[in-house]
Structure 1
Amino acid sequence: MKLSTVAIALASLYMQASAAPTASDAPQPETVPNCGYPTVALLRAWSQSATDHFFTTNQTEMDAFLANGYVAQGIAAYILPSDTEAPTAVPLFRMYSAQYRDHYYTANATNRDVLLSQSSYVSDGIAGFVYPDQECGTVPFYRIYDHAIGDNFFTTDQAEIYDFVDQLGYTDRGVTAYVNPQ
């Protein structure tokens, strides 16, 4: 009796296991949604001599910066190109200060206007479009700042923020916008 109960239990477990979907039948993770709009890579580079991080979606522009001593650091995120507006997306404004040798990016028009009127920053156009709120699988695009060297740095990588804050003295300035992850 005990043997037949064990056999029935084992047979039942085998039937359940074989009825479960195999790895190929299981739902596959979706690719990161982009709200249906095309995205482009936001490239990142660093200049030790200028103590400046630079971001662009334009490879030719990036190549010019690389020829002037910047070092490519890969793709920071994916954003909407500057010629593709989505109903809920906002411009990612790019500014530059020759005095501080710093590129600064913001999705906040008021922040941009204050910097342009009260500092040495000048408009450097629109890098692309981003989201002001998290939607369609976007992730935070964080800004951290090093006051000692005057560098604004942007990343989607929380571990990178911890490293820069803990080891390099940067200050976490919060979320600038939401972007598609790298």
Structure 2
Amino acid sequence: MFSLTLVLSALLCLTVSNALPANNVQHLQARTCGNPGDAVPFFAANGGPIQDYVASTAVAAMQSLVGAQGFTFLGVTARVFTTQETSTVPLYMVYLVTNGAVSDHIYTIDQGEYQALLEIGYRDEGIQAYVYPTQICGSVPWYAVYNAAATEHFFTTDEATRASFLATAGWSDQGIVAYVLPTNCTDSG
């Protein structure tokens, strides 16, 4: 009887110890990811007199750009957080004024780049959202492309849009700015 009890105890121990990592993984994911239900639309617009790209969580800002300033509403580019969530970092926005008009907006999570842009004359718009610095929690890349001749940045999660810009003369790849939740994000994360 002793050996049967020992064997059953060992099997039970193996079963429990094998189950723990799966539970720990789920627990770690819960601690690692922000709540996708807290994510909000990150609206995008492009245009105005200088064809500037702007993204914002603020509906009123988008309405102003599209209505009074002649921008074209591009829709929801991603889903982001408006408050810091687990594993997220600030997404800063700066803008450049050329000849009295805003000519370029740049978004970055890199504090060194953020400070360098301010030092060369970009103006601070502060934290626009909170995003992931790495591809975790069901996030997708938010790409940047740049046209030096036009001093214009464009941002997208759509690889076909990015490829289209890069196939057009003057546009260059600036890589991944951050990782955001896709527009079809569900609470499953």
Report the TM range for the smaller structure's normalisation.
0.7 to 0.9
- For structure 2, list consecutive stretches of 5 or more residues without a partner in the other structure: 1-32, 184-189
CA RMSD after TM alignment: 1.4
Matches of 1:157 and 1:49, distance apart in 2: 25
What does residue 111 of structure 2 align with?
109
Shift in alpha-carbon separation, 1:87–1:151, aligned structure 2, 3 A: same
Rg larger in 1 or in 2? Answer: 1
Instruction: Decide whether the 8 Å contact of 1:42 with 1:77 is kept in 2.
Output: yes
2:173 is matched by which residue type in structure 1?
D
Aligned amino acid, residue 139 of structure 1: V
Q: Assess if the C-alpha contact under 8 Å between 1:142 and 1:155 holds in 2.
A: yes
Q: How do residues 78-117 of structure 1 correspond to structure 2 at under 5 angstroms?
A: 78-81=79-82, 84-99=83-98, 101-117=103-119
* TM-score between both structures, scaled by the size of structure 2: 0.74
SS class of match (2:137): coil
Greater fraction helix: 2
In the TM superposition, what is the alpha-carbon distance from 1:69 to its structure 2 partner? 1.0
Match of 1:18 in 2: none
Give the distance between the partners of 1:168 and 1:55, measured in 2 at CA: 24
Distance 1:121 1:176, change over 3 A: same
Letter in 2 for 1:39: A
**SS where residue 126 of structure 1 aligns?**
strand
Give 1:177's aligned residue. Answer: 178
TM-score, normalised to structure 1, is 0.76
- Identify the residue that residue 42 of structure 1 maps to in structure 2: 42
Match of 1:126 in 2: 127
Identity among equivalent positions (%) equals: 33
Q: Distance in 2 between matches of 1:71 and 1:168?
A: 22
| Aligned partners of 2:145 and 2:172 also within 8 Å | yes
Give the letter aligned to residue 86 of structure 2: P
What are the ranges of 5 or more consecutive residues in structure 1 without an aligned counterpart? 1-33
Indicate the SS of the match to 1:71.
strand
